[in-house]
Amino acid sequence: MRQSAENDRRIKMLAVTPKGRALRERLCARLMVPPAAIAAMPADVRRQLAIVLRSVVAEQAAPRDATG
* pLDDT per position as a tens digit, 18-65: 999 999 999 999 999 999 999 999 999 999 999 999 999 999 998 887
Same domain, 41 and 20: no
Question: Is 68 domain-assigned?
Answer: no
What is the span of the domain harbouring residue 19? Answer: 1-31
Question: Is 10 domain-assigned?
Answer: yes
Phi, psi dihedral angles at 36 (to 5 degrees): -55, -40
**Extended beta strands in 1-68, E state:** 2-4, 12-14
> What is the domain count for the chain?
2
Tell me the C-alpha to C-alpha distance, in Å, between residue 27 and each of 3, 9, 48, 53.
25, 33, 26, 21
Measured at the CA of 6, the angle between CA 18 and CA 9, to 5 degrees, comes to: 100
Same domain, 25 and 12: yes
Question: Is 20 domain-assigned?
Answer: yes
pLDDT in the model for residue 68: 57
pLDDT in the model for residue 8: 83
Same domain, 5 and 22: yes
Question: Is 40 domain-assigned?
Answer: yes
* pTM of the predicted structure, to 2 decimals: 0.54
pLDDT digits (tens, 9 = 90+) for 1-21: 777 778 887 888 888 999 999
